[in-house]
Structure 1
Amino acid sequence: IHQLFEEIVEQTPDAIALVCENQQLTYCELNRQANQLAHHLRSLGVTADTLVGLCLERSLEIVVAILGILKAGGAYVPIDPDYPTERLSFIVEDAQLSVILTQQKLLESLPQHQACVVCLDSDGETITQNSQSNPQNTATANNLAYIIYTSGSTGQPKGVLVNHSNVVRLFTATESWYNFNSEDVWTLFHSIAFDFSVWEMWGALLYGGKLVVVPYLVTRSPESFYQLLCQEKVTVLNQTPSAFRQLIQLEEGIGNREQGIANDLKLRLVIFGGEALEINSLQPWFERHGDQQPQLVNMYGITETTVHVTYRPLSLADLDSAASVIGRPIPDLQMYVLDEYLQPVPIGVPGEMYVGGAGVTRGYLNRDELTTQRFISSPFNNLKLYKTGDLARYLPNGELEYLGRIDNQVKIRGFRIELGEIEALLTQHPDIWETVVLVREDEPGDKRLVAYIVPQSNSSLTSVQLRQYLKAKLPEYMVPNAFVILESLPLTDNGKINRRALPAPDLHRELTETYVAPRTPVEEILVQIWGQILNVEQVGINDDFFELGGHSLLATQLVSRIRNSFQVELPLRELFKAATVAQLADCIEQLKQQSPELTVPKIVPRRKKRSNTS
């Protein structure tokens, strides 16, 4: 990977490689800084297949660090500082990290470990004393590039071992489809602990393009992110379908207020991955933009098979179908749909997907038994197949239709239920924007089907209407016991639906404090806004926003409503500090006093970051 990057540096040393807020680095500057770090890591014993932990906030340095590790010959292991301590401890212990790259302020978030720690900020002077020249390469294509930990069914995460060759061939195999080039502008939207980031980073940096590192708070605010897309003239956008639906909703709102703003987007490609796509949710986008520019593409993929597996361009014609069509495999991969005896199933018959070819990774770190179970010998040739756990069927035209997880089949009161079937019917309802159905067991032994619904704007759906709609189409045992109407579905940092953050139905909340009615006009307005956003009938001034089911995406909506109602700009982080109505009202009063005409901050002109010279 890093040798391909070095070739680009030779070709376009002065082109802008990286941007983050008001800082930027050229290809030459990025290469020099990564080289200095690589030489420093070499002095600490980092060589081929050495595992180096990476615990950094989103910044230019995160890309410098990844390049530095690869150039030293090592493999990076992302450690997200926001992970729970228990998960961090497991990763650090499981990977037996020899070195951890971090920042001074994140040291206390690291669990106990035996690794050598390098702080890119406080150790910066030592690092910059090293040579700026490319270190002699010690890694081969078959050495590790990274280990990304994914959730495991046992509750313990599992580290996926990915080689340089797995990544390099991903771009070689898809070049003819996408024609990535030096004019492209990409966003690094996703956490480096999510392998979509691998595609984002190298899609830009192996072709001479520009990579915009998106600050964390901007990724949680559709308004701020949309503004960034326009400001930076982003051409290639990678999103989970859930995150993209937030942008569609936002754009619809902007379009209703201010016609023509959509022309500020310069996108030529929008690539979906990470979760199943509900094709009908794209209708408002196609109506506004058409289906040619940008081209929307659905890509099914798995960490164990290196980011992406299939490719399917999307068009207006696809809106006629409720199917989640994931298309055909990338040219250097093979996709098999097999039965329980590893025999191919006929066209149209559901089976489990198995992936073979150059994207299939080594397996799991320290999990030989699980690796043997999931990475099996192919019955068709001498290669490995990865057992995905996903259901699909081949369509007559040779494309694949994704049918959901095998483990998304649940059993309630003796009935076997496919949750995806209920979700598919709900998304066909004209007033439903998006939905997720799951089984909850809030009371031990009381399993209940719950449907979470985000209605279309200007829709006033009720549980009674939804229940009647499904009763006409499904047997009684498949009709959800409860329907929860939400303004948006909560997302994880990776942009996937966060099922754990979905609130319990029929919010029979037991307040920790006695209900206290609003006392001031500001509190009165806040109570009304909270009730609407959280779908709660009675809100007291001592109630906590997050305890009532609020989350980061709803928080951005609340900030927006506060801006419109009070003409003040409340920083998102303030909401996390002042989470009750009373505290928030005080905060708003203070802001109003500080600046009666406070407006949204202007975009600060970018300041060029100086390069280090020896």
Structure 2
Amino acid sequence: MTDILDPVAVADGTELLSAADLSLIDGWNATGHHVPTATLPELVQASAAAHPDRPAVRHRGTRLSYAELNERANRLARLLIRGGARRGDIVAMVLPRSVDYIVGALAVVKTGAAYLPVDTGYPVDRITQVLADARPAQVLTTTALADSVHSEARLLVLDEESTLHELAQADPTDPTDADRQLPLTPDNPAYVLYTSGSTGRPKGVVVAHKAITNRLHHMQSEIPLGAGDRLLQKTPAGFDVTVREVFWPLIAGAEIVVADPDGHRDPAYLVETITAESITVCHFVPSGLKVFLQEPEAAGCTSLRHVVCGGEALPAELQAWFASVLEARLLNVYGPTEAAVDVTSMFCPRNPEPGPVLIGRPVWNTRLYVLDEQRRQVPPGVLGELYLAGVQLAEGYLGRPDLTAERFVEDPFVPGERMYRTGDLARWRADGMMEFFGRIDHQVKIRGFRVELDEIESAVLREPEVAQAAVIVREDVPGDQRLVAYLVPAAGAVPDVRRLRERLARELPDYMVPTAFVGLDRLPLTPNEKLDRTALPRPGRAAVRTGRAPRGEAEQLLVELFARFLDLPEDGIGVADDFFALGGNSLLAAQVLGEIRKSTGVRLRLNQAFRTPTVEALAAQLA
């Protein structure tokens, strides 16, 4: 493998690739493969017809066979069609992770509409913003969540008595194109997902059936699922992996086991569920996998055959740790929301080489280009921006033709096709593997979720007491990534950080709310007057305790753990201090609970930490 080179130094204004290099890259991109032309409902209906009595989905006491799942989805699809759902429409789903969520996703695509999953963990303001932008024709929800849905769309509340009566009377047979009034084809949109936006508002990505079915077929070729396989559906609805978790097992005849709504946050719950339900396949983001492997009983998850890992860069040391704990195979995947879930994959070696993470090779019918600023291909070993092309590209951004044209550009190497600018830095290795090197812009990944720092900065700047703001990701403690906001007050103002944090928590998902706020007289600038992010200081450490000191062994233990995991001095933490207000998050909370169990033998659930996040309240739980 060659060293990283500056493409401009390699060639200035001339072609960078030799004929030999071009031949190599063309060979690595020769991913053409026949995939059946079918839509998601056609594929699931074929599974239901082939093995109607096989278990399809379960959650706690609710279990559905393939025939029962298909019939329930058909009945709901009939109600949606009767309510006006048509091809080209969007039907939003504000539903908790449940059997109804699986039924709802299948029902929507049966109508010909695209489904929009909305994470119920989002603040109400965020849900309202997404629904206002997407303008869905209908919204599926429950009585418990209906108050959080503010939309002009028709609301279908699944657990209302009137809806249950209508469902019982509906036709259970598969809807046809005649019922839909328009033919459903693989070119039609299948789903819409919202991601963080650099303009200060989230943006919707529209993905067609042909894009996601290509990836599902390739996934099935990598990890053949079948009778006896159980996939744990645990990914939050706003993350594109949930699309794969729902439809991949259903087209393969495997079973979906649905995790509790907050179960993905709790590694102890995941270990118990994987063991009790004999889960064979599940997905983790690397940060979540790290916390999972810290569970003492994780090695007992012997039913696992495969773990899929994506959403963040996978460190080599985490690969090695995984191999030391579990016998399962680890599949590392990469892909932005703008291409159906994953565009590269690689089975990880059990003894990985040190160095940058590999994201593997392109999946079926997908091409990768590493280009310089003039969009010329650079040789293997040279760093450039990664572009994607092929069948898995999204259709574009919902209602944003300008942004679509900016990010989905003409493919100069295959006439008539498009490619997507990822904003990621990468390079080809000499063996045809792709190496990932991070971002070229202000976009980051936090716990697997894509975050535009500009969106957070825009939200912070809406505070009238803030004149300037900058938000960055810091990793002052290895492996602990945190969002930090730097504020320059308006003239004569003193920003109220507590009020700002509370407002941001109402507007943004929890993973986008900074864990620390630092006041500055001015933002540091480079000689050319641009923000110097490298000069932004580490957040100060509170040195004075503002509340009662700990009393007793339990409170003292918790103060020590809060201090260790939040990188704070013990004498700066009072027993009434809130773990999350001090900068904690769900991953750090899970690690604290793991240490509590090691020290005391007492197992606390993660939802207990969210309900009682102070030292004194958690100490009471321990007692």
Q: 1:86 aligns with which of 86, 111, 125?
A: 125
Per the alignment, residue 389 of structure 1 pairs with 423
Q: 1:184 aligns with which of 208, 211, 229?
A: 229
Label 1:71 to 1:349 Cα distance change in 2 as closer, same or farther (>3 A).
Answer: same
Q: 1:421-448: CA deviations, max 9, x gaps?
A: xxxxxxxxxxxxxxxxx99999968999
Instruction: Give the distance between the partners of 1:346 and 1:232, measured in 2 at CA.
Output: 48
Alpha-carbon distance, 1:231 to partner = 1.6
Contact 1:242 1:497 in 2 (8 A): no
Alpha-carbon distance, 1:235 to partner = 1.6
Q: 2:100 aligns with which of 58, 61, 67?
A: 61
Label 1:497 to 1:180 Cα distance change in 2 as closer, same or farther (>3 A).
Answer: farther
Q: After TM superposition, where is structure 1 displaced by more than 6 Å over at least 4 residues in a row?
A: 438-449
Per the alignment, residue 277 of structure 1 pairs with 314
Determine whether 1:335 maps to 2:368.
yes
Secondary structure in 2 aligned to 1:100? strand
Secondary structure in 1 aligned to 2:169? coil
Q: 1:130 aligns with which of 170, 184, 187?
A: 170
Determine whether 1:159 maps to 2:204.
yes
Per the alignment, residue 551 of structure 1 pairs with 585
Per the alignment, residue 608 of structure 1 pairs with none
**Pairs within 5 Å for 1:521-532:** 522-532=554-564
Instruction: Give the distance between the partners of 1:267 and 1:33, measured in 2 at CA.
Output: 30
Per the alignment, residue 426 of structure 1 pairs with none
Amino acid of the structure 2 residue aligned with 1:49: G
Label 1:35 to 1:572 Cα distance change in 2 as closer, same or farther (>3 A).
Answer: same
Instruction: Give the distance between the partners of 2:553 and 2:330, measured in 1 at CA.
Output: 46
Secondary structure in 2 aligned to 1:124? helix
Instruction: Give the distance between the partners of 2:558 and 2:300, measured in 1 at CA.
Output: 35
Alpha-carbon distance, 1:321 to partner = 2.7
Label 1:130 to 1:374 Cα distance change in 2 as closer, same or farther (>3 A).
Answer: same
Determine whether 1:114 maps to 2:152.
yes
Secondary structure in 2 aligned to 1:299? strand
Q: TM-score, normalised by structure 2?
A: 0.76
Secondary structure in 2 aligned to 1:404? strand
Q: 1:372 aligns with which of 382, 402, 405?
A: 405
Instruction: Give the distance between the partners of 1:584 and 1:175, measured in 2 at CA.
Output: 44
Q: 1:121-147: CA deviations, max 9, x gaps?
A: 112222222111112144221111111
Q: 1:236 aligns with which of 281, 292, 305?
A: 281
Amino acid of the structure 2 residue aligned with 1:6: Q
Label 1:227 to 1:383 Cα distance change in 2 as closer, same or farther (>3 A).
Answer: same
Q: 1:189-225: CA deviations, max 9, x gaps?
A: 2122211111111111001001111113321111110
Determine whether 1:295 maps to 2:319.
no
Secondary structure in 1 aligned to 2:57? strand
Instruction: Give the distance between the partners of 2:618 and 2:543, measured in 1 at CA.
Output: 22
Contact 1:297 1:312 in 2 (8 A): yes
Per the alignment, residue 542 of structure 2 pairs with 509
Q: 1:356-388: CA deviations, max 9, x gaps?
A: 111112111111011011111111221111111
Label 1:447 to 1:88 Cα distance change in 2 as closer, same or farther (>3 A).
Answer: closer
Amino acid of the structure 1 residue aligned with 2:201: Q
Label 1:45 to 1:149 Cα distance change in 2 as closer, same or farther (>3 A).
Answer: same
Instruction: Give the distance between the partners of 1:311 and 1:118, measured in 2 at CA.
Output: 39
Alpha-carbon distance, 1:569 to partner = 5.6
Secondary structure in 2 aligned to 1:337? strand
Alpha-carbon distance, 1:540 to partner = 1.9
Instruction: Give the distance between the partners of 1:57 and 1:43, measured in 2 at CA.
Output: 24
Amino acid of the structure 1 residue aligned with 2:547: Y
Instruction: Give the distance between the partners of 2:287 and 2:60, measured in 1 at CA.
Output: 25
Label 1:321 to 1:545 Cα distance change in 2 as closer, same or farther (>3 A).
Answer: closer
Secondary structure in 2 aligned to 1:237? strand
Per the alignment, residue 477 of structure 1 pairs with none
Q: 1:358 aligns with which of 377, 391, 402?
A: 391
Q: 1:426-472: CA deviations, max 9, x gaps?
A: xxxxxxxxxxxx9999996899994332489xxxxxxxxxxxxxxxx
Amino acid of the structure 1 residue aligned with 2:156: V
Alpha-carbon distance, 1:162 to partner = 0.8
Alpha-carbon distance, 1:61 to partner = 0.4
Per the alignment, residue 195 of structure 1 pairs with 240
Instruction: Give the distance between the partners of 1:32 and 1:161, measured in 2 at CA.
Output: 27
Alpha-carbon distance, 1:579 to partner = 3.1
Greater CA drift, 230-239 or 576-585: 576-585
Instruction: Give the distance between the partners of 1:43 and 1:339, measured in 2 at CA.
Output: 52
Determine whether 1:399 maps to 2:433.
yes
Label 1:231 to 1:104 Cα distance change in 2 as closer, same or farther (>3 A).
Answer: same
Instruction: Report the count of equivalent residues.
Output: 511
Instruction: Give the distance between the partners of 1:384 and 1:339, measured in 2 at CA.
Output: 17
Amino acid of the structure 2 residue aligned with 1:121: D
Label 1:80 to 1:348 Cα distance change in 2 as closer, same or farther (>3 A).
Answer: same
Instruction: Give the distance between the partners of 1:316 and 1:262, measured in 2 at CA.
Output: 16
Percent identity between matched residues is 33
Q: Which runs of 5+ in 2 are unaligned?
A: 1-39, 446-452, 461-465, 481-504, 518-537
Greater CA drift, 331-340 or 134-143: 134-143
Instruction: Give the distance between the partners of 1:345 and 1:58, measured in 2 at CA.
Output: 44
Q: 1:219-274: CA deviations, max 9, x gaps?
A: 11111102211222222222211111112222xx34xxxxxx73542222222211
Amino acid of the structure 2 residue aligned with 1:575: A
Determine whether 1:218 maps to 2:263.
yes
Q: Which runs of 5+ in 1 are unaligned?
A: 255-260, 410-418, 421-437, 457-491, 590-614
Instruction: Give the distance between the partners of 2:74 and 2:587, measured in 1 at CA.
Output: 39
Contact 2:316 2:357 in 1 (8 A): yes
Greater CA drift, 271-280 or 358-367: 271-280
Amino acid of the structure 2 residue aligned with 1:75: A
Secondary structure in 2 aligned to 1:105? coil
Label 1:157 to 1:445 Cα distance change in 2 as closer, same or farther (>3 A).
Answer: closer
Instruction: Give the distance between the partners of 2:275 and 2:365, measured in 1 at CA.
Output: 35
Instruction: Give the distance between the partners of 1:223 and 1:586, measured in 2 at CA.
Output: 20
Q: 1:286 aligns with which of 315, 323, 332?
A: 323
Alpha-carbon distance, 1:22 to partner = 3.0
Amino acid of the structure 1 residue aligned with 2:153: A
Alpha-carbon distance, 1:528 to partner = 3.8
Per the alignment, residue 566 of structure 2 pairs with 534
**Pairs within 5 Å for 1:418-429:** none
Greater CA drift, 82-91 or 572-581: 572-581
Label 1:584 to 1:241 Cα distance change in 2 as closer, same or farther (>3 A).
Answer: closer
Q: 2:215 aligns with which of 162, 170, 181?
A: 170
Q: 2:68 aligns with which of 25, 29, 32?
A: 29
Secondary structure in 2 aligned to 1:308? coil
Instruction: Give the distance between the partners of 1:215 and 1:59, measured in 2 at CA.
Output: 7
Amino acid of the structure 1 residue aligned with 2:132: E
Alpha-carbon distance, 1:558 to partner = 4.0
Per the alignment, residue 74 of structure 1 pairs with 113
